[in-house]
Structure 1
């Protein structure tokens, strides 16, 4: 009985040992397969990095921001001209010593920028650069109202300045038998165009009246020009046009040089006239 009992226990122990080994073998296989997948997943990026190029020294690349306008922000900033835009520079005085004028145009001489800033604060003034080429640079203290007034004046002068390009031409046509009243009206219109710096092309048609003098049309041209002394001159002298049925000329405004020469000539002639009159008076006194 004892031998049978011992053999039964031994068989049970062997069975339990085999069952335990089988369980461990199965579980190890599952764990091994799971760990294999995990290691493959983790190793794949490392394996890919084996084929990556070796890292080199870093390089700095300068890039520009993309813009549909094709201009960078710095290029869009308005460029200020020294002494022409009347911009208040505030406290940003780059030069240590500057030449200063006050708001009335009085010369304050050379001053240290710290003294200029102190003067600006005391008198509530702005600082404007007048001449950057001077040594030291020239600045002027102005009030806000003075800066505004000078800006308006510069804008009006810019509008009044002649625009570059060919001078526009106005055209006017009338008959040589025109009445005096109508001729005066035409002449005033021509003078207004000349004062606005236009060229004026005048065409005068010959009258069908055979008794009309041949030089009448030239006389009309000369009369129109003589009524505008110091303003206009011939750009193209009278010449036949339209197959000889008319006479055409072009008047233009005088240039600055021609205007100055005309004024000098007029002044000289007036001086000569006064001298002659004074000489005649002295002569008459002597005779008397």
Structure 2
């Protein structure tokens, strides 16, 4: 029931906040559009806090120590509290997989959590991403991992949402959630990556798409006879993989969106991709990058 209600509210929110439902959802910008003050600071035990209008809100306080993906999910969760008109809420457990067996979650938390999934992963964006990624092949765990990177969501959360969308066969969600993101990154690169680093696979279908990455992330060019025509500031060659395709690493020098061009066999024009740094937010909303 929570997912049915949250799914409908997310569609309304996309419409009201001017969100393109076919692509990556800019959740931090959505908070501002909704009139919610956004702030981020290090917090040892909390994911985030929603302050209702009765408590000098609406405002959202996020944990600045979270990864970009976790912070995006937390921001969407707190936005859900706001749009449902909930009371002030402090959230210290936003992952159902981490919850103690048998513990009850308040109804408001169920709605906000379900809203976060439907808001960050609209059905049209999921369908468009899988069309680019699968290219006529059967859906597998690596495809789901790649979709999660396109949408800025966690692998486990994306598996759960695909199950809610009824895009998985019975039992697939349970078995695929047992696969770790580290194993999928290793499968894509052939190498062990430090915790927190992600892999973004670029293909010809990535042309004119955006890649939201962070420092240390790896970009793999799965393009026939690929070569980079030039390396923008903030992207450097990565040699930590035994795979044969060209690979880049995002560095701390990436401040502004970078236009990456990949020459490919059989193409008269290069594959063009915009790489955007998706760093965790700090401070108040005016200084958060979009």
The interval holding the TM-score normalised by the smaller chain is: under 0.3
Higher relative contact order (CA 8 A, sep 6+): 2
When Rg is computed on C-alpha atoms for both structures, the one with the higher figure is 1
TM-score (ref. length: structure 1): 0.18
Q: More helix by proportion, 1 or 2?
A: 1
